[in-house]
Structure 1
C-alpha cells in the first residue's frame, strides 16, 4: 500500500506537509513518538531543500507499508542536495545547524540521488504489542498445558512432541538461522558507513565514543568475572590446559578472524569472519564518502528487506516460545525453567554493579552525589524502565538534560540518537551469562579461553545490532552458533531476554545521559582553557 502527494517547496508548506504525514500515520498503529519524529523529518528536509531551490518547485511525500515496516519518503527533482551531510567548513553558527543535526541523528534516515531525483527516506514501524505480555501468556499457557499433559496423558504428550512440536520448532529455528547471517552483515556495515553523517562533530563524538568503549569494556569484565565464578568453575583448568593454552586460543581467534576468501564465511556461518568483512567494507565506504551511491543504495535496500523478514519471523516468537516450552515440559525437562531464576538474579546483580560504577564516575568527575543525580534523572529513567522503550523517554530525557542538567542543546540533540545506536552494553552481560546457562542445560562446558571470543563477538553485536524489539532471537542465534549450543534453547533464552529488557533499557538510557554529562564537563574545561 502506497500513498503519494505533491507539495510546493516552500516554508509555507511545512504545516500542511506535516499534517498530511500525521494524518497518514494515525491510520497505522504507530507510536506518538514515531509520529513526532516523522513530522520533524519532513520539516527539516523541507528547510534544507528550500535553501538552494528555485521558485515554484515541488516535492513529493510518499508513504509505503511492508508488513509492519513503514517507509516515509520525500522526493525532490533538481541538483543533488543531501540534507544528511554537514558542510566541512561553514560560516553558519552551531545553532543554525541544530535542525540538520537532528535530522542526521534520527539514524533511520537514508539518502540517495538517482536520475536527478533526491530521495530521503525515514523508516519506522507499527507499534508492536507488548512482547513481555505476549511472551508471559505463551509461557504460562505452555507450562499449564504441559503440566496437564504430564499428569493426565503423558503418552499423548510425548506423541505430540515428536510428531508436531519438534518439527515445527526445527523449521522455525532453521529459517531464523538462515536469515541471521545476512542481517548481521548488512546491519554491521550499515552502522559503520552511516557514521559519516555524524563524524563532523568530531569533539563531541570522540568524547561519547570513549565513554561508550569504556562502558563496553567494563560490562565485558563484569560478564567474564561472573562467568568465571558461576559457570566456568574448574572447567577452565580441565579444558584449557593452563595459561599458555588460553593465549594460544586467543591468538587463533585473532588470526582466524581473517577469512581465506569472501564467500566461505557466509557458507560456513562464521560470524567473526563475517563481522570482519563488514567492518572492512564499512570503513572503505566511509573513506570513499559516498562516491558509489549505487552500492550504498543496494546495501540500504537489502538491509531493509532482510530486517523486514526478520521482523516478520520475530513476530512469531510468542508462538515459538509456547511450542518450545511445551515441548520441554512434555519431554520432562521443565526444570530448566526454574533454573532460569538463578541466572536472572545473577544478571541483575551484574547490572547493579555496572550502575554503581557509573554513579561513582558521576561523583568523581561531576562532583555530584549519586542521590542528586538519580533525582534529576528519575523522570526519564522511570519511563524507560516501565515501557522498555528508549524512544518513549526521548522527550523527557531531552528536556531534563537541557533544562535540569544544564547540558547544551546541540550536545543533547546529537547524543541521544547516537546513544540509542551505540549504548547497548548490557547486551554483553545478559548474552554471555544466558548463553552459558543454556550451555549448562545441554551439559556443555567452556574454558575462559573459549569464552573470550564469545565476549568479543558480543561487544561487536552490542553496536551492530539494530535497536529494535525482537532482536533477542537474532543475537542468541549468533552466539549459540558460535558456541555450538542447540538452537532449541533459543525459546528459553529469548524469554529471559524479553523480561530483562526493562532494566536493560533504563541502564542504556542512563549510560547515554551520563556520557552527555561527561561530554559537557569536557567542553567546559576546553572553553575555560581557551579564555
Structure 2
C-alpha cells in the first residue's frame, strides 16, 4: 500500500508539471502582468504556495545534513577511512565537472550556437568572487550556530565531521550521544516524507509562475544556445553518469536512472541542489543502497561543490559569447576554460548566484566581454532547473561509486525496484 502511495505521488507530481506548463503558457497569452489576477493570484497566491514548498524543503537541509553527517562520521572506527572517503568523493566530483565542461565545449564548437546571432546585451552587475584564501578561511566556522543559521554548507559539513570524530573517540559518552543522534536521524527522515506530500501543489504553483513570467517565446532568439546546453545536459545525465556507474560501481545503470526520477522532479521544480538535498539523500540511502556513512558525507559535499550542470552551461556560454562577438578561442583558452571552471566549482561553493559568478571568472580568464552574460540571463532560469537535475544525479553516481569501493554498497537494495518506496 505504501509503495502504491509513493507511486501515486510521483504520478501526481508529473501531472502537476504538465498542467503547470499548459497553465503558464495560456496565462501568458491572456493575462496582463499588471492585472489584478496577475498581482493577486500568480505573483501572490501561486508565489506564496511555491515559496512555502521550497521553504519546507530548505528547513530540513541543515538539520538533515548535520544529524546525518554526525551519525555517519561517529560510526567510523578508523579516522583514516574518513579521509579516504573524502578524497575519493572530491576527486570524482572534480573529474565529472571537468568531463562535463569538456563535453559542453565540444558540442558548442560543433553546433556553433552563437554564429549569426545578433543580440543586445542588457545590464549585468558583475559581482566580485572570493579569493582562494578567503574560501579556505571561510570553510572553518567561527560559530557553528551562525553557520547553520546562514546555511553555510561547507562550515556545517566541517563542524559535523569534527563532532562525529569526537563522538567516535569518546567511549561510553560517545555511544550514548550517538544513539541520541540516530534517533534524531529517524525522526527527521520521517519529517522529510511528511513534507514531500506538499510537492504536487508546490510544483504546480512554482512552474506555472515561471512559465508565465518567461514565456515559451523567450527561448526563440536563443533557441540554438538553449538546445545545445540542453543536449549536453542530457548526454551527461543519460550517458556519462550511467557509464561511470557501470564501470566504476559495477552496477546496472537502468535501476540507477529509474530510481532517480523522483529526485529529478524535485530538482527541476526547485532549481536548487541544496533544497533538493533531503530527497537526494533519501534516494541514495533508501533506493540505491548506499550506506549512511558514505551517503551522509558525499551527497551534502556534492550538493555544495559538484556543479556539473553549471559547468556545462559555462562551457556552452563561453563559446556562445565568443562567437557572438566574433572571437575565435585558441586551444590554450579552451584548456583554460576547462581548468578554471573545474577549480571554480569548489572555490565559489556557497556563494549566491554561483553559476553566473563562475561564468564571470571563466570569461575573465580568457579575455571575453563579461557583459555578454546579460544576453543569456533571460532563459537561465529554465536551464537552471534542468542542470540542477544533472547536478544531483552526479552526486548520486559518485555516492554509489565511493560506496562500492568501500564495500558499503547494498546491491540487493539497488536492484530492488520497490526499495525505498515506503
Hey, which of these two has a bigger chunk of strand by percent?
1
- The DSSP-based 3-state class of the residue aligned with 1:316 is helix
Match of 1:268 in 2: 150
CA distance in 1, matches of 2:213, 2:304: 31
CA distance in 1, matches of 2:345, 2:131: 12
Q: Deviations over 1:58-111 (max 9, x none)?
A: xxxxxxxxxxxxxxxxxxxxxxxxxxxxxxxxxxxxxxxxxxxxxxxxxxxxxx
Correspondence for 1:433 among 300, 309, 327: 309
Q: Deviations over 1:395-427 (max 9, x none)?
A: xxxxxxxxxxxxxxxxxxxx9644973776986
CA distance in 1, matches of 2:154, 2:302: 20
1:455 and 2:339 are equivalent in the alignment:
no
1:138 and 2:111 are equivalent in the alignment:
no
Match of 1:216 in 2: 93
Equivalences for 1:346-385 in 2 at 5 Å?
Answer: 346-350=232-236, 352-353=239-240, 380-385=252-257
CA distance in 2, matches of 1:222, 1:428: 18
CA distance in 1, matches of 2:44, 2:127: 41
Correspondence for 1:282 among 147, 164, 184: 164
Correspondence for 1:158 among 33, 38, 47: 38
Match of 1:300 in 2: 182
- The DSSP-based 3-state class of the residue aligned with 2:141 is coil
Hey, which of these two has a bigger chunk of helix by percent?
2
Please give the TM-score of this superposition, normalised by the length of structure 2. 0.55
Give the deviation of 1:183 after TM superposition.
1.7
* Structure 1 residues 168 and 359, CA gap change in structure 2 (3 angstroms): closer
Give the deviation of 1:512 after TM superposition.
6.0
- Judge conservation of contact 2:104–2:232 (CA < 8 Å) in 1: no
Q: Deviations over 1:192-229 (max 9, x none)?
A: 12334xx59x99x9998876554333124335656899
CA distance in 1, matches of 2:183, 2:139: 27
Q: Deviations over 1:34-74 (max 9, x none)?
A: xxxxxxxxxxxxxxxxxxxxxxxxxxxxxxxxxxxxxxxxx
* Structure 1 residues 137 and 224, CA gap change in structure 2 (3 angstroms): same
Greater relative contact order (CA < 8 Å, ≥ 6 in sequence): 2
Give the deviation of 1:454 after TM superposition.
4.8
Q: Deviations over 1:167-187 (max 9, x none)?
A: 222333334333322222112
Q: Deviations over 1:213-271 (max 9, x none)?
A: 543331243356568998xxxxxxx9699xxxx8x711111111112233221233222
Equivalences for 1:327-338 in 2 at 5 Å?
Answer: 327-334=209-216
Match of 1:10 in 2: none
1:29 and 2:12 are equivalent in the alignment:
no
Over aligned residue pairs, what C-alpha RMSD do you find? Answer: 5.3
CA distance in 1, matches of 2:341, 2:127: 8
Structure 1 unaligned runs (5+)? Answer: 1-27, 31-125, 231-237, 363-372, 390-414, 442-446, 459-477, 517-531
* Structure 1 residues 192 and 512, CA gap change in structure 2 (3 angstroms): closer
1:187 and 2:68 are equivalent in the alignment:
yes
- The DSSP-based 3-state class of the residue aligned with 2:143 is coil
Structure 2 unaligned runs (5+)? Answer: 109-124, 262-287, 318-336, 358-379, 408-422
1:171 and 2:64 are equivalent in the alignment:
no
CA distance in 2, matches of 1:127, 1:273: 37
Match of 1:314 in 2: 196
Give the number of aligned pairs: 313
* Structure 1 residues 308 and 151, CA gap change in structure 2 (3 angstroms): same
- Judge conservation of contact 2:17–2:203 (CA < 8 Å) in 1: yes
1:326 and 2:208 are equivalent in the alignment:
yes
- Judge conservation of contact 1:387–1:502 (CA < 8 Å) in 2: no
Equivalences for 1:22-171 in 2 at 5 Å?
Answer: 28-30=1-3, 128-129=6-7, 133-154=11-32, 155=35, 158-159=38-39, 160-171=41-52
Give the deviation of 1:152 after TM superposition.
3.7
CA distance in 2, matches of 1:132, 1:341: 27
CA distance in 1, matches of 2:381, 2:69: 22
Give the deviation of 1:323 after TM superposition.
0.3
